[in-house]
Amino acid sequence: MVKKEFSPETWEELSHDLSEKWNDMQDEIIGMQVENLTKGANNGVDKWYEKQLKQNRIVEKSVLSIIKKHKDDIDFETDKAYLKANEVAQDLVKERLGEAPDIDATKFIENKIEENEEVYKYLTLANVKAKTLLVNKTYALAKLKMSKRISWTLEEETKILYDAMERTVDNDLSKMIGVTYKNGRQITFRSYMEMRIRTDINHVAIDMMEDASNRLGVVFFLCNQFGDCADDHRPYQGKVYVLENWRNLVSSDKLDEYTDYIQKNNIQTLESIKGAPVYLGTRPNCRHTFTPITFEQATNKNQTLKDLGLSAKGKANKEKYEASQKQRAYERAIRDYKLKYNNVLIQARSVNNDEVKLKLLEKAKKYRGYISYFQKQIRELLANNSYLARDYARENINKATYDLGANYNKKG
Ligand SMILES: [Zn+2]
């Protein structure tokens, strides 16, 4: 059952299944990369390097076939998520304005499916590029270690190679398939996608809601308020906003009255505050939402805020929010260690050298320990905060919505 309200929780819920499908695909691609990197590793460093250089085209083919396998699921979930977003938008308009004209969701969905195609292309290129970087970095690390002595036994070379491989897989692989922002910040592809999916659904639902409202001649929107609002959103919350093209949407007898109100109260356009630099209601984890209101409601703003339950909420909310963010952080740690655990096991399976195998298995055991530790942290957190619920899907490496957006963007 989807929550029928415009809130970060709603977008998280709507994006859950879709994020899961992207995650499934990404986890499979990472596993393939890790396994591919072990090819030839029992034959000494130089022979391994020679073999690895020939693997680029194989990586490309493998990525394409993994994408092909997951594409239909992703497109299906895309469709589902945006149809639900449309339902939420329509329900809100109906609740506030008494009726809601049908919105054609098809054009929104078609755009998103086209965008998916772009992402598949990006992902393929990024993985081929990552493969080269990964091989070269691993080789450089191994060679550096080997520069200390003239000759090494094959056993020793295998050991050196696996050491280097572990380091690059642990530290670099997911970053290599990541996205770099203009400010230089790097995030993994997985976090990027989850954040993007969630904010996209939010943006589209806002567009759908505006579309339905303005067909009813409603051009004013009221932004809700929070006591623990982010500082930079504080001056913008609890205010009335108007659509940029409101003049084309209202009957001519209202023009003077509306113009007068807009000028006297210095009402800004909805478009101007939704975009850069304010991003009110559109930045990930922002809880600000816009409710369509009539002109009468706009002129009685403070009463309307109270009547519609949109006025400032207190500290209790902030504590709740922080506890849930803590839970998300523990879930992220669990997923990270599960991925590392899987990668180490893939490497352990491929190696002939018993000593290396043992070391990898010990490392796997260590990661298991971290996983248990964070699971315990979650249990304690939940015991102290009864309103939180365990979500095993979030801790599962193959079935999770990782909420990394929370880390990247401040709340608002
Ligand atoms: Zn905000």
Q: Give the pLDDT band of residue 395 (cuts 50, 70, 90).
A: confident
Question: In the numeric block, which tokens belong to residue 193?
Answer: 């996608």
pLDDT at 322 over 80: no
pTM exceeds 0.85: no
Q: Give the pLDDT band of residue 3 (cuts 50, 70, 90).
A: low
For residue 410, report the distance from its CA to the centre of ligand 1, in Å. 9
For residue 242, report the distance from its CA to the centre of ligand 1, in Å. 18
For residue 237, report the distance from its CA to the centre of ligand 1, in Å. 8
Q: Give the pLDDT band of residue 300 (cuts 50, 70, 90).
A: very high
* Domain ranges (residues) in the chain: 1-216, 219-312, 314-412
Mean pLDDT of 298-314: 86
Count other C-beta atoms under 10 Å from residue 226's C-beta.
Answer: 23
Q: Where are the alpha helices (DSSP H) in 98-223?
A: 106-146, 154-171, 173-176, 189-214
For residue 108, report the distance from its CA to the centre of ligand 1, in Å. 24
For residue 100, report the distance from its CA to the centre of ligand 1, in Å. 26
Q: DSSP states of 227-282 as a string?
A: TT--GGGGGGTT-EEE-TTHHHHS-GGGHHHHHHHHHHTTPEEHHHHHSTTT-TTT
For residue 113, report the distance from its CA to the centre of ligand 1, in Å. 28
For residue 280, report the distance from its CA to the centre of ligand 1, in Å. 5
pLDDT at 162 over 60: yes
What was the pLDDT predicted at 402? 35
Residues contacting 91, CB < 8 A, separation 6+: 4, 100
For residue 322, report the distance from its CA to the centre of ligand 1, in Å. 16
What was the pLDDT predicted at 297? 95
For residue 90, report the distance from its CA to the centre of ligand 1, in Å. 22
For residue 289, report the distance from its CA to the centre of ligand 1, in Å. 8
For residue 287, report the distance from its CA to the centre of ligand 1, in Å. 5
CA distances to 1, 91, 163, 184, 215 from 205, rounded to whole Å, are: 17, 11, 48, 30, 16
Lowest mean pLDDT among 13-22, 54-63, 215-224, 261-270: 13-22
Q: Nearest to residue 142, comparing CAs of 170, 174, 176, 167?
A: 167
Residues contacting 273, CB < 8 A, separation 6+: 236, 241, 280
pLDDT at 403 over 50: no
Q: Where are the alpha helices (DSSP H) in 38-55?
A: 45-53
For residue 224, report the distance from its CA to the centre of ligand 1, in Å. 9
For residue 374, report the distance from its CA to the centre of ligand 1, in Å. 30
For residue 259, report the distance from its CA to the centre of ligand 1, in Å. 27
For residue 329, report the distance from its CA to the centre of ligand 1, in Å. 21
For residue 272, report the distance from its CA to the centre of ligand 1, in Å. 14
For residue 319, report the distance from its CA to the centre of ligand 1, in Å. 17
Compute and round to an integer the Cα radius of gyration of the chain: 26
pLDDT at 360 over 80: yes
Q: Give the pLDDT band of residue 318 (cuts 50, 70, 90).
A: low
For residue 225, report the distance from its CA to the centre of ligand 1, in Å. 9
CA distance 280 to 272: 9
For residue 281, report the distance from its CA to the centre of ligand 1, in Å. 6
For residue 12, report the distance from its CA to the centre of ligand 1, in Å. 16
For residue 230, report the distance from its CA to the centre of ligand 1, in Å. 6
For residue 131, report the distance from its CA to the centre of ligand 1, in Å. 39
pLDDT at 66 over 60: yes
For residue 288, report the distance from its CA to the centre of ligand 1, in Å. 5
For residue 302, report the distance from its CA to the centre of ligand 1, in Å. 19
For residue 311, report the distance from its CA to the centre of ligand 1, in Å. 14
CA distance 308 to 297: 10
For residue 385, report the distance from its CA to the centre of ligand 1, in Å. 25
